[in-house]
Each structure stands twice: as structure tokens, then as C-alpha cells.
Amino acid sequence: MQKKKRDLKDLVREKYTQIAVGAQGGSCCGCGPECGTDYTVFSEDYSDKEGYVQEADLQLGCGLPTEFAGIRPGDTVVDLGSGAGNDAFIARAEAGEIGQIIGIDMTEAMIEQAQKNVTKLGYQNVSFLLGDIEQIPLEDHVADVVVSNCVFNLVPDKEKAFQETLRILKPGGHFSISDVVIRGDLPKVLQEEAELYAGCVSGAIPIEDYLDIIRGAGFVNLQLQKEKEVELPDSILGKYMDEREINDFRRSKTGIYSINVYAEKPK
């Protein structure tokens, strides 16, 4: 099991290093070279948000966690899995110059890209640290708000990651996380194919299990803020199902969903 967890982490690190070095976009849940078309089925449009920085937007997310995070001027915000800095810069626009924004990412190339972006922008209150969200390199009780965008699903030990999130939050602080989950029993053949079309699903778990992990970590006032079904195209489903089976599958509401979830650390 430990070897499998390391293998998954190494695979994710290698993938995101390639993206950072190439500075190439494409949703982590979008179809890549394997199917010839880039369907950015998960990523959301940030371009109209205050603080948006095009160079930092690699389209690796599956939602807009800052939209639901309730960030206030002066807040300390920690972005887990910060990539090239997109969500961190959006958070900075909301926290203002008196706030503090800290990005954490386990990929050195992403940290380098984010630091280049923040240097170019001249921000004094945004920093990026190399670290693992299963062992966050921050002291206890430092964050008013934690955000994360399509990262926890890629973490092998989600229980530990949410425990660490609770640890770094101040009492009464909260998180807003966009992520990918499964509803129902996704057929194995589709789950395997979906890893080509939707890389993020490789670590996704049933939504009920996901929410139970959050509660088990000690969070309260859990809220599902947004949920969006991600439809696999007929071009993929048709490889494994006939037309009737595809229609039955779609009606079943079994499949992949992007969600935004909120929870608080008890006061």
C-alpha cells in the first residue's frame, strides 16, 4: 500500500513538472494527447476575476474555490496545491495588501513558476513553499482560510491531508475546496478510460466517503456549495456501450462530479 501511494505521488509530481516546465495549459481533468482533443471539462473560467494572471492559469483546476471562500481583507489564506499561483493571486485580490497569501506545492517546477510570477507582479504579501499537504510545512493555527483546487483527490492519504488542514487553521477558520468525486459505481472500464480523458478521477473517491473523511478530521458546519456533473462524451462511452446502455448510464446519474465543499474548524 505504501509503495502504491508513493507511485501515485511520483506520477502526479512527474505530470505536473512536465506541465510547469512546458508552461502548457490543459485541465488536469481534460483530454490530452491520448485522445487528440483537449476537452477542458472541469476547469472554470477565471479571466473575469479580479487578480487574474494569465501566466499563472494553467487550467489545472476543477472549480473556483475562492468564489465561495469568504475571504476578507487582512486574512491569511493558504492555497494547498498552489501550482503556478492562479488561486493565490485571486485570493490576494480579496485579502488585499494587508492580507498574507501562502501557496504550498510539492512540485519544485511549479514553485519556481509561481515565484517567477510573483516576482514579476511585485507582490510583497504572496509567498510559495515547497511541501506536501499530507505534512504541511506551516505552524499550527496560522490560516484564516484554506483554499485548494482539484488537489485533494490526487492525494493518497486524504485523511492525513484533512487533519493537516485542520491543524493549520485558526479556531473558527474555514476551508473552501474544489475537487472531484464519484457518485455511484463507475464501471471499471469507464474508470480506466476516464483516466485518459479525466486524469483527476484517478484518485477520486465516492462523495459519501469524501465528506465522511472531512467530518472525521474534526470539521463542522460542512456544506456542499456547488456540484456539477461532468459528462463523458459518447465518443468514449461508445467504445464500451451500445446506445441503449449509454442512455441507461446517463439516466442513472452515476459518474464523475466536480464539487465545491466548505467546512469550519470548531471555535
pLDDT at 38: 40
pLDDT at 182: 87
Confidence of residue 93 (pLDDT cuts 50, 70, 90): very high
Report DSSP state, residue 206.
B
Assigned superfamily of 2-264: Vaccinia Virus protein VP39 (3.40.50.150)
**β-bridge partners, 145:** 77, 174
**Mean pLDDT (whole number) for 117-126:** 94
Q: What is the pLDDT of residues 231-255, one digit of tens each?
A: 777 877 787 788 888 888 888 878 8
pLDDT digits (tens, 9 = 90+) for 106-115: 888 889 989 9
Lowest-confidence range among 129-143, 156-170, 182-196?
182-196
Half-sphere CA count of 257, side-chain side, radius 13 A: 23
Instruction: Provide the 3-class DSSP secondary structure of residue 171.
Output: strand
Residue with the larger pLDDT of the pair 123 and 6:
123
Range with lowest mean pLDDT among 7-11, 182-186, 237-241:
7-11
CB 116 within 8 A of CB 83: no
Residue whose C-alpha cell reads 485523511 in the numeric block: 159
Q: Is the pLDDT of residue 152 over 70?
A: yes
pLDDT, residue 195, reads: 55
The owner of cell 493558504 is: 78
247 vs 124 pLDDT, higher one: 124
Question: 181 to each of 114, 207, 233, how far by Cα in Å?
Answer: 27, 5, 18
pLDDT, tens digit (0-9, with 9 covering 90-100), for 14-68: 565 555 455 544 444 443 443 333 435 455 666 666 666 665 555 566 788 999 9
pLDDT for residue 218 is more than 90 = yes
Spatial separation of the C-alpha atoms in residues 17 and 110, rounded to whole Å: 7
Judge whether residue 95 has pLDDT over 80.
Answer: yes
Report the alpha-carbon angle 14-120-131, nearest 5: 35
For position 31, what pLDDT does the model report? Answer: 37
Burial of 47 (0-12, 13-18, 19+ CB in 10 A): exposed
- Quote the mean pLDDT of the chain: 80
Report field, pTM of the whole predicted structure over 0.75:
yes
Residue 184's pLDDT band (cuts 50, 70, 90): confident
